[in-house]
Structure 1
């Protein structure tokens, strides 16, 4: 049980860190770009919200399998497949939780407006400096919201991690899959304990997000 919990937390933590790094430039570009193609990128980014997890998991499984063009490129480096590995789980989780990271960050950048950047420009700040030292700190609540959502969303993943990871004990088995296995084995006591823990965790996450939104609204007022 401890190994399952640790694998789940490690997966959520690594996924969150990777997505915060990805969401910063991507959310900034979506918030600032005026090109029509940005909406196509935004739609592609949000696709996991409407796709069944098994569909996304299936295509990621194919992409990470030994016969895919991607793995063919990696075979000279000794990587034959990433399917049914923790690395494969991370890749699938990053893709599945991408919209939960990008959208809050994009919203935070859009809410910031142009004025802070104009002030930074008058002080001769380079665009990179303005982004790192002005935009990112001002969008900190967006990053915090993204981190909480991604971590919680990854904790509750089922379809994607089952398709890509295969529930290998000690390697790719996570809490949501263990609950499913306990129910299949009619081990309702353990399933109840894990399910109740996830319900409590979800409540704390949502309650924290609502408090953050309330505080942000009060500060704006």
Structure 2
């Protein structure tokens, strides 16, 4: 019997890609205002530095990787000394500009009438800062209190523990947009899985996900079907 639905955050419930783009533009504008004599901070350089940092440190927490990338970008334009204040400006903007997808709140409301809801993410998008305060019975953030990030089995063990599973991991449905970080490892840990495939990509391995949806509007029906 399904009792709990746990969610990935970034690009599943939250449109973080758009928020990152907007926060990056805000940071560039802030640098131009605050340091008019320095070379312009370029969006392309910020993006390239972020990609390089992620490739070099895939297991580090999101905030640390982004901070290191920002340090590289700011150092390139002679603003390494302002890294602290400008990185805080960026992170504040990123949280402020992160919003749920249009289909997220209704899906959560419907599912919350019947199931326990959880929020379990590798990212640093705080539910209470991104328009989802009070929606979840539990929240788990990788790297906090030593929690290993996805796709580590320990992450999914923590989800099961937070959900208070008593009969078996199939009580929990994990919903996420990443096939490799959300679907495959959750399935290996015994959870039921729903892949949020907004782009309509080909399913890599049919049968691994218990359900595939292109919109969270379709999620309540998919979960009810799994719970039947």
- TM-score past 0.5 threshold: no
Who wins on radius of gyration, i.e. which is larger? 1
Question: Where is the helix percentage greater, Structure 1 or Structure 2?
Answer: 1
Tell which has more relative contact order, 1 or 2 (C-alpha 8 A, sep 6+). 1
Task: Output the TM-score relative to the length of structure 2.
Answer: 0.28
